[in-house]
Structure 1
Amino acid sequence: MNVLVISVHPDDETLGCGGTILKHKNSNDDIFWLILTQASENLGYSKEFLSNRANQITEISNEYKFNKIFNLGFPTTKLHAIEFSEIITKISSVIQEVKPEVIYMVNRSDIHTDHQVAAKAIMSCTKSFRNQFIKRILMYECISETEIAPPLPENTFVAHVYSDISDYIDRKIEIMKKYESELQDTPLPRSIENIRALARFRGATVSVQYAEAFMLIREVF
């Protein structure tokens, strides 16, 4: 089975579905990583940060053993300023190459504007009449992005699908630690303690030790 994991920013994949990626790999599925944005000096990032980020992406890819990485290189925090058709064209080209049966994507109502634009573009790229090979589309939650959205009904993340990651939670956290610059101290949301707590809460909802939760967008079976 071909699986496409879409990150708007590197670390989205680990926060949202890191344990599930490990499960897929353990099942010998082919997993592809699509990163939409990239930091640059023009956006105020230091050379040291950029070097560290490049190393992190390599390390993370090795941890998950992705079959291939696609990096579209759109400027981070600036997706709203990019011609929407260009985003759609580039995402579509990856989908046509990979032909995934399963897609994991960011939540459409995350507080980060990049995530909102990306989610809309991804949905435009996954129309069933053009991509009949896609059998399942799942939105994952990113702690510090999903739960911070305004508490309005249209922004609610409603979990429909749960992935038991009890056997993978420790490794997920070790992988997340490689994103040193993205981690926060407790009680801030993106702390190791809170990442584990969210997985524990999601697990308790379905009576397992740890889980990741997803919103089901489409499933064909």
Structure 2
Amino acid sequence: MHRTMRRLLIAVAHGDDETLGAGGTIAKLADDGVRISLCVLTDDDGSRSENGLGATPRSSAIEAAAKILGIERVRIHSYGDNRLDTVGQLELNRVFEREVREFEPDTVFTTSVSDLSLDHQIVSRAARVAGRPGRGSVREVRCFEVRSATDCGEASGMPAFRPNCWQPLDASHLERKLEALRAYGSEVESWPSSRSERGVRALAEYRGSQVCREYAEAFELLRSVL
């Protein structure tokens, strides 16, 4: 049996996590008529500068990328970049629980606890709490990989990212992902960085090759109720 997805909530710590991790899938689902909401906990790049001084707001880039991908609803909070560990887990759980109540998603996408980024781990736990059985409309929860975070986790002693779900992509959806990534400006790095356009394309080709498709994105499917 196949469960039809109708409403998707994407829960992330930083603007660009959603694009790097699932941008192609988001574009495809939007084209298929899925209603999509994005909830981002931070709105700055404070970790890029000493003591967070001179941090640059990223709300305009988040909104621009969301429009390219077809995300219709965006909620941006103002917690500090790489400072989510200074916020109580209960408070962050409640942010996503409120999103689940208001948007009523049947599916949640989020980052992986395998990531080197502590922000990503914290968000993943909060999203799982919000999407737990019996507390709302969520029937499926998936985690995606974010280059330079997920791929560095295992080498640093984190559990490995173990995909068990692949979304094949058309070339047009991959190009939308790359276009959305460009909206983040300096977050796009030069090759051979895994966060470069070439690196993103290489990962899509690799994940596609795992399922005999040209391009794909991979997920850890945590729960799916048919």
Question: If the length of structure 2 is used for normalisation, what is the TM-score?
Answer: 0.90
Distance in 2 of aligned mates of 1:202 and 1:111: 21
Are 1:44 and 2:56 an aligned pair? no
Are 1:92 and 2:97 an aligned pair? yes
Counterpart of 1:43 in structure 2: which amino acid? G
1:142 counterpart residue number = 146
1:29 counterpart residue number = 34
1:213 to 198, 218, 222: 218
Describe the shift of the 1:151–1:66 C-alpha distance in structure 2 as closer, same or farther (beyond 3 A): same
Counterpart of 1:44 in structure 2: which amino acid? L
- How far off its partner does 1:73 sit? 1.9
1:172 counterpart residue number = 177
2:201 counterpart residue number = 196
In the alignment, is the contact (CA less than 8 A) between 2:116 and 2:158 conserved in 1? no
Describe the shift of the 1:65–1:169 C-alpha distance in structure 2 as closer, same or farther (beyond 3 A): closer
1:62 to 64, 67, 71: 67
2:167 counterpart residue number = 163
Describe the shift of the 1:65–1:166 C-alpha distance in structure 2 as closer, same or farther (beyond 3 A): closer
Distance in 2 of aligned mates of 1:218 and 1:153: 25
Moved more, 112-121 or 165-174: 165-174
Distance in 2 of aligned mates of 1:185 and 1:33: 27
Distance in 2 of aligned mates of 1:153 and 1:112: 12
Count of residue correspondences: 216
Counterpart of 2:141 in structure 1: which amino acid? I
- How far off its partner does 1:105 sit? 0.4
Distance in 2 of aligned mates of 1:97 and 1:186: 41
List alignment gaps of at least 5 residues for structure 1: none
Describe the shift of the 1:154–1:113 C-alpha distance in structure 2 as closer, same or farther (beyond 3 A): closer
Are 1:127 and 2:132 an aligned pair? yes
Give the secondary structure class of the aligned counterpart of 1:187: coil
Distance in 1 of aligned mates of 2:139 and 2:154: 31
- How far off its partner does 1:55 sit? 2.3
- How far off its partner does 1:72 sit? 2.4
2:3 counterpart residue number = none
Distance in 1 of aligned mates of 2:118 and 2:223: 23
Identity level (%): 27
Distance in 2 of aligned mates of 1:66 and 1:15: 15
Distance in 2 of aligned mates of 1:145 and 1:40: 16
